[in-house]
Amino acid sequence: MNSSPSKTAPLPPSQPHRGAVSHLQQFWHRVTEGLELSQLWKQFSTDARASYRFYERDFKSRAPEDRKRGFWHTAQAFAWALLEKLTPARRVLLLLGVVLLLFPAGGYSHRNEEGHVEFVEFDFRFLGGASLFILLMLEIADRVVMKRDLEIARDIQSWLLPANPPQIPGLTMAFATRPANTVAGDYYDAFARPGPGGEPLFLFAVADVAGKSIPAALLMATFQAGLKTLSATPSSLTNLVTGINRYASSNSQDGRRFTTAFLAEYDPRSRSLTYINAGHNTPILRRSSGAIERLTNGGVPLGILADAPYESGSVTLQPGDWLVIFTDGVVEALNARGEEYDEMRLLNVLQNGIAATPEELLRRLMADLDVFVGTTPQHDDVTCMLIKVG
C-alpha cells in the first residue's frame, strides 16, 4: 500500500518570541505616537524646512556676499549661524564631537625596555559620540523646559480669549484662531460694554501684533488688558481707540512692536456698527444683495504714533448681511508653489456659504485653507471672525 508523505505543520512561535514582538510593537507605538511612516516623514520634512528657514535668516543676513562666492562660503556662513545659537561651552562640545568623529584614530610610538618599537593607537569615536550625546541631552533639557513654559503660556493665553461668542440680539457669530507657534500674537474678542443711557453696546475686536511667538503673545496680553480696562467706562469708540493707542505706544519699543486692529461697536437697537480700522486687513461686509463693501475708515496701526488721529466709520447692518474680519495669516497663507490664499478665494467661500451658519461657514473656510496650504508649514497666526445678521 502506497502512503503519501506526511507534511509537518509549522510550529507556532514560542511564547517568549511573541512577547518580544509585542513589547517591540508597544515601544514603537509609544515612540511614534501611532503615526504611520508617511506621517512621520511629513512631520520630519516639515520640521526640517522650518529649521532650515530659522538658520537661513541669520546666515543670509550676515553674509550676503558669501552666498555669491559658492557652496563652501554658504556652508561656512550656515555653520556659524548654527554655532551662534549655542552657548560657548556647547559650541566646544559640538566642535569636539565633530573633530573626534572625523579624525577617530590617533596614537604614538615608543621603544620598550627590550628595544622594540611599540605603537599605541587610540580610537576617539566613542569620545566624539559621547560629546555629541551630552550636547543632545543638554539641548533636549532646554527644549523640555521651554516647551513646558510655552504650554503654560498657551493655557494662560486661552483664558484671555473668549471660548464662546456672546448672545447678541439679531446677530450670530463664530471665531477661531490657529497660532503659527505654541502661542500667538493674534487677538479676538466680543463683549458687552456700557453705552449711553445704560444700554449695553457690543465691542468686536480683532488684532494682530507684529511678530510671532512669545514677544507677540506678551504684547497681545497687554493689549487685551488695556482694551478691557478702557472699555469698562462709557466713552466713544474714537476716544477708546485713542487711549489704547497711547497705551500701546508706551510698550511698542519706539513703534517696532506695533499692532494692527479692527475695533467695532454694535448697537442692537439701531443695528448700527461704528468701527475704526487701525492699519488692519480691511474687513469684508457682504450685503444680502450680494454687494461687497470694505470697512476702511481709521488710521495707522496702534503703537506707532502716540498722538495719531483716528476717524471712525459707520454702517447699518441689515438681515442677511455677513461681516468677515480676519488677520493677514488667512489671506497670506502660502501653498507649496508660493501662492497666497488671497481675498478672492476667501470671497468665493463666503459666496458659496451664505445660507450656512457662522459656525458651519467657519469650518468650511478653515478646511478650504487646509486644502490650499497642504503640507506647507504655517508661517503666521490665523484668526477669523464671522458675523451674520439675522
Residue 220: count of CB within 10 angstroms of its CB = 23
pLDDT at position 91 is 86
pLDDT value of residue 3:
45
Pick from 226, 244, 252, 266: which is nearest to 385 by CA? 266
With CA atoms as reference, report the closest residue to 330 among 266, 283, 270: 283
pLDDT of residue 331: 95
- According to the model, what pLDDT value does residue 25 have? 81
Amino acid 336: pLDDT = 87
- Domain definitions of the chain by residue range: 163-389
Q: Would you give per-residue pLDDT tens digits along the chain (390 residues)?
A: 444 444 555 555 556 667 777 888 888 888 888 878 887 787 777 777 766 666 666 656 555 555 555 667 767 777 777 788 888 888 888 888 888 888 877 666 666 667 666 766 777 888 888 888 998 898 888 888 877 877 877 787 788 889 899 999 999 999 999 988 878 889 999 999 988 777 899 999 999 998 777 888 888 888 899 999 999 988 899 999 999 999 888 876 676 789 999 999 999 999 999 999 999 999 999 999 999 999 999 999 999 999 999 999 999 999 999 999 999 999 999 998 999 999 999 999 999 999 999 999 999 999 999 999 988 888 899 999 999 998
Alpha-carbon gap, residue 216 to 214, rounded angstroms: 5
What is residue 110's predicted lDDT score, i.e. its pLDDT? Answer: 66
Which three cell numbers mark 105? 584614530
Classify domain 163-389 by CATH architecture: 4-Layer Sandwich (3.60)
3-state secondary structure of 153: helix
Q: Which pLDDT does position 70 carry in this prediction?
A: 64
Rounded to 5, what percent of the chain is helix, strand, coil? 45, 20, 35
